[in-house]
Amino acid sequence: MVREHIERGLPLLVLLDEAHRRIPLLRQELQAAPCRLLESLMDGTGSDELLDDEVVEVRLPFLDWLPDAHRDRAARFLEDSDAALSRTPVALLPPLMTEKRQDGLPPSPRFARRILPNALTAGRLAAAVEHLFVEGAQYCATAGRGSEADR
């Protein structure tokens, strides 16, 4: 489904909230992980060593399911947003930081970080996705319907 969205240019917003974090997994979850993931996690660590604990913390490969060009763009956005986060108080940040659209880049996928995850319900996040991917002319037409004076 993700590959289809990318190939067809359909709206796809990739949230990078957890990109720097280690993810806790139960031993059973890790044992059921795809071989490709296990191989990348084992680099130099014996599997017995990794599976000794009941809960294992792992760092997942960074967006390895995305084509290289998109992954590089995501890494740049992550670096830029890290810089913005380091110099701006959280109270002055929007709940969702999004990658700016740029000429010459495909409209999808776009990258974002949830600064205030609890403020973004599923409905609010869906509305943000719709807004981010709406075409300019359609957005202008929609925005003009707000008041009786506009009609």
pTM for this structure?
0.68
What is the pLDDT, as a whole number, of residue 97?
A: 92
Per-residue pLDDT tens digits for 21-37: 777 888 788 778 777 67
pLDDT value of position 55: 82
pLDDT for res 43: 54
Per-residue pLDDT at 142: 38
Cβ contact 97:112 at 8 Å? yes
Which two tokens mark 60?
């997942």
Residues of the chain with pLDDT under 50: 44-46, 136-151
